[in-house]
């Protein structure tokens, strides 16, 4: 529908209205793109879709890098190897929706929904499918665990997207977490600065900044996602003293070339977002078509290290199956080890010696 196309880029009165106007079925996109999307309809019986008008306005084709992240693809149904929960998050949840894998930090899943349902989501098993995570009762259980576990120093709010909670609810949640004296830092993991930057209101930022030290890790995957609005959202957060990081996912057909990745990392540091991790995608059911080879990841890391500002270089991470944790991978093979020195291949391909 032409009218929808016109609507997509138009400003709405607030972030809630953007969400209300989200499209949730493929027929709403009829006539929007030149490509026919009918064959993809069965995907929605397994994995729901949601694209808000802001993100939709950035897509020019269902198979461009932004379209691939947002629009269901039939290949989601022919992934025979993927697992629902490859990292065994359920097995490492002492209470519902709280993952305690590492001694000093937990991931607290406080929402089961997002401003956009990413096709490559690592928690496809939950999003838009499971019963609400953010009921007061469910959240109280996680809060109880945090209060009673003095080893926890770092609480990571994730989901779904924690910023889908309205600001008063988020305020209450953060206040409750801060009642545990052993919690040093709070992290919010949110894709909203990228997918719905209008959610980053003055009021939200004022609320968040009363709970320092508070960090926010966001999730940009492509340079075209760094729009004027996204830049403003990040500026607002950074101005209130919230350190910003980015957890990019390496995705086949989206960002798996050195050119795109260099451009993304450079744009991130210009909006004061520090590239934190470049995640190799987890083997999650329904996402096999996004998984590149490790060689691709190494090739890209070699194109970053030494060639662009060090602060623009993320760590390349794999998350080990069964909840064994994250490990950084380096593309620089050790060559010719000896007790006194190691030989290292640098970014130019030179073999260099490094003393112990
Ligand atoms: C990724 C992750 C963390 C955080 O890891 P950092 O390396 O500290 O960013 C914590 N808990 C779980 C379960 C995770 O998957």
Catalytic-residue membership of 121: yes
Set 40, 85, 114, 171: catalytic member:
114
Catalytic-residue membership of 36: no
Residue 29 domain-assigned (yes or no): yes
Among 48, 77, 106, the domain boundary falls at 77
In this predicted structure, what is the pLDDT of residue 345? Answer: 76
Asked whether the whole model's pTM tops 0.85, one would answer yes
Domain with residue 273: its CATH number is 3.20.20.70
Domain that holds residue 202: 90-355
Q: Where are the alpha helices (DSSP H) in 9-135?
A: 15-20, 53-56, 65-70
Residue 83 domain-assigned (yes or no): no
In this predicted structure, what is the pLDDT of residue 177? Answer: 98
Does the Cβ of 123 fall within 6 Å of ligand 1? Answer: no
CA distances from 313 to 189, 218, 223, 301, 329 (A): 19, 15, 15, 8, 13
Long-range CB pairs of 56-59, under 8 A, 24+ apart, other chains included? 56/8, 56/23, 57/8, 57/9, 58/224, 58/225, 58/227
Does the Cβ of 102 fall within 6 Å of ligand 1? Answer: yes
CA gap 88, 321 in Å, rounded: 8
Residue 152 domain-assigned (yes or no): yes
Residue 236 domain-assigned (yes or no): yes
Among 77, 98, 132, the domain boundary falls at 77
Residue 85 domain-assigned (yes or no): no
Q: Indicate if 104 and 128 belong to the same structural domain.
A: yes
Catalytic-residue membership of 118: yes
DSSP one-letter code for 248: E
Q: Indicate if 122 and 200 belong to the same structural domain.
A: yes
Indicate left, alpha or beta for 9 from its phi (over 0: left) and psi (-120 to 50: alpha): alpha
Residue nearest to atom 14 of ligand 1 (CA): 107
Compute how many other C-beta atoms are within 10 angstroms of the C-beta atom of residue 96: 13
In this predicted structure, what is the pLDDT of residue 348? Answer: 78
Ligand 1 pocket test target in 86, 102, 216, 280 with most atoms within 8 Å of CB: 102
Q: Indicate if 122 and 240 belong to the same structural domain.
A: yes
Q: Indicate if 106 and 140 belong to the same structural domain.
A: yes
Q: pLDDT (tens digit, 0 to 9) for every residue of the chain, 356 residues total?
A: 445 666 666 789 999 999 999 999 999 999 899 888 999 999 999 999 999 999 999 999 999 999 999 999 999 999 888 999 999 999 999 999 999 999 999 999 999 999 999 999 999 998 877 767 788 999 999 999 999 999 999 999 999 999 999 999 999 999 999 999 999 999 999 999 999 999 999 999 999 999 999 999 999 999 999 999 999 999 999 999 999 999 999 999 999 999 999 999 999 999 999 999 999 999 999 999 999 998 899 999 999 999 999 999 999 999 988 888 898 888 765 555 566 676 777 777 888 877 65
Ligand 1 pocket test target in 97, 101, 282, 319 with most atoms within 8 Å of CB: 101
- Tell me, in angstroms, the distance from the centre of ligand 1 to residue 74's CA: 31
Does the Cβ of 99 fall within 6 Å of ligand 1? Answer: yes
Catalytic-residue membership of 194: no
Catalytic-residue membership of 81: no
Among 54, 77, 100, the domain boundary falls at 77
Q: Indicate if 117 and 259 belong to the same structural domain.
A: yes
CA gap 265, 223 in Å, rounded: 8
In this predicted structure, what is the pLDDT of residue 294? Answer: 87
Catalytic-residue membership of 105: yes
Q: Indicate if 258 and 170 belong to the same structural domain.
A: yes
In this predicted structure, what is the pLDDT of residue 1? Answer: 45
Tell me if 67 sits within 8 A of 40, measured CB to CB.
no
Query: How many folded domains does the chain comprise?
Result: 2
Residue 84 domain-assigned (yes or no): no
Q: Indicate if 238 and 145 belong to the same structural domain.
A: yes
Set 118, 194, 234, 246: catalytic member:
118
Atom of ligand 1 nearest to the CA of 107: 11
């Amino acid at each position: 529908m032409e009218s929808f196309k016109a609507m997509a880029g138009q400003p709405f009165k607030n972030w809630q209205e953007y969400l209300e106007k989200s499209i949730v079925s493929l027929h709403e996109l009829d006539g929007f793109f030149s490509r026919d999307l009918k064959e993809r309809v069965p995907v929605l019986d397994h994995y729901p879709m949601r694209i808000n008008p802001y993100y939709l306005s950035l897509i020019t084709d269902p198979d461009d890098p932004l379209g691939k992240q947002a629009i269901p693809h039939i290949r989601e149904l022919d992934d025979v190897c993927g697992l629902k929960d490859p990292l065994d998050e359920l097995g490492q949840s002492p209470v519902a929706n709280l993952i305690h894998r590492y001694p000093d930090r937990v991931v607290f899943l406080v929402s089961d929904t997002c401003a956009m349902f990413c096709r490559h989501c690592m928690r496809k098993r939950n999003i838009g499918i499971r019963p609400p995570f953010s009921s007061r009762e469910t959240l109280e259980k996680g809060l109880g665990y945090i209060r009673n576990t003095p080893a926890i120093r770092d609480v990571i709010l994730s989901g779904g997207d924690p910023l889908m909670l309205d600001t008063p609810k988020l305020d209450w949640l953060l206040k409750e977490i801060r009642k545990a004296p052993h919690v040093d830092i709070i992290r919010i993991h949110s894709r909203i600065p990228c997918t719905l930057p209008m959610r980053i209101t003055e009021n939200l930022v004022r609320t968040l900044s009363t709970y320092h030290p508070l960090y926010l890790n966001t999730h940009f995957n492509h340079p075209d996602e760094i729009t004027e609005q996204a830049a403003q959202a990040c500026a607002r957060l950074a101005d209130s003293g919230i350190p910003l990081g980015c957890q990019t996912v390496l995705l086949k057909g989206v960002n798996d070339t050195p050119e795109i990745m260099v451009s993304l990392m450079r744009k991130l540091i210009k909006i004061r977002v520090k590239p934190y991790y470049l995640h190799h995608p987890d083997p999650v059911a329904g996402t096999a078509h996004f998984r590149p080879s490790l060689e691709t990841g190494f090739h890209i890391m070699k194109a970053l290290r030494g060639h662009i500002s060090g602060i623009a270089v993320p760590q390349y991470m794999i998350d080990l199956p069964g909840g064994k944790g994250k490990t950084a991978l380096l593309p620089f093979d050790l060559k010719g080890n000896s007790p006194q020195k190691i030989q290292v291949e640098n970014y130019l391909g030179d073999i260099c010696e490094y003393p112990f």
